[in-house]
Amino acid sequence: MSPAPLPAVVADDPLPELVLGMLRNRVDCLPWQAAVDGEAEHAVGLYVYGHPPVDGELLDRLPNLRVISNHGVGVDHIVLADATARRLPVGNTPGVLDGATADMGFALLLAAARKLIVGDHFARGPDFGSYDPGYLLGREVHGQTIGIVGLGRIGLEVARRAHGFNISVLYHNRRPRTDLPESLQAEYVSLEQLLRRSDFVVLTVPLTAETTRLIGRDQIELMKPSAILVNIARGPVVDTDALTAALRRQQIYAAALDVTDPEPLPRDHPLLSCENLVIAPHLGSATEQTRRAMAELSVENLWLGLAGKPLRCQAN
């Protein structure tokens, strides 16, 4: 008697060996293009590793699908309403990446405030012949005020790190949080107040229709000339053209971005020429420990969905 065929799962390429090892000999992995071309009708699972768009048009080409499992917490590339309309659970990975992403936010904040990237290039270059205490003066971090836009799981971790630097915490959500730990002193304010009062503005909101271009020209104009904008959310939360113009005019002190719109930016984009910008290639959760936890959780969601069981974490 021949063994039962492996369940067919569509996945976007390239999957890392970590994920491939968890799927190997357990599923028949089909390329994403097979779904796009309508050649994966028998697929029962969809594993989303990068950020390919998933909408009703694609899902209609996969009539036997049981589950969508996303490697990551953000699901803005998946039209949840289309999945829900087809009774498809969408798994994601909240919780396991909060600390790593908050660490990245603080790394960007510190690098921008203390001119770390410019200093690194200078220290390696031919012009550094002697120490001068008057060059590359940055902004202090300790004792300042941080404004966190979106005090969810990641925002809460940013606030905890801020207290370690003796930084006063402001935050803005759709509504005040009533469940904050007593040890975490954070003041709820309007977005306008947050932008006016903060030395560091850190964006940790999910990307939705409401948060797209949340920070544009009018919002940047409210910020202090000495302020630093940090985006560890999603690129479209910030109006790229408005930020580029503001940095070129030195309207704010600096920006520090882990995400951009578009992502990646064209190599000749004017934002990339701004010296008062620190930029990373979307490394928020990019630690060995966190990526393993994300892989394990996303694959667990996949198995549960294939078995018709409730997912451990579900976005819709």
Q: Which residues are catalytic?
A: 234, 263, 282
Question: For residues 115-144, b (16+ Cβ closer than 10 Å) or e, as one string?
Answer: bbebeeeeeeeeeeeeeeeeeeebbebeeb
Name the E strands within the chain.
8-11, 28-31, 45-48, 67-70, 90-91, 145-149, 168-172, 186-188, 200-203, 228-231, 254-257, 277-279
DSSP string, 57-83: HHHTT-TT--EEEESSS--TTB-HHHH
Nearest one of 287, 293, 288 to 312, comparing CA atoms: 293
The DSSP symbol for 183 reads T
Q: Tell me how far apart the alpha carbons of residues 105 and 256 are, in angstroms, rounded to a whole number.
A: 8
Amino acid in the structure at residue 37: D
Nearest one of 69, 54, 76, 90 to 233, comparing CA atoms: 76
Q: Tell me how far apart the alpha carbons of residues 309 and 125 are, in angstroms, rounded to a whole number.
A: 58
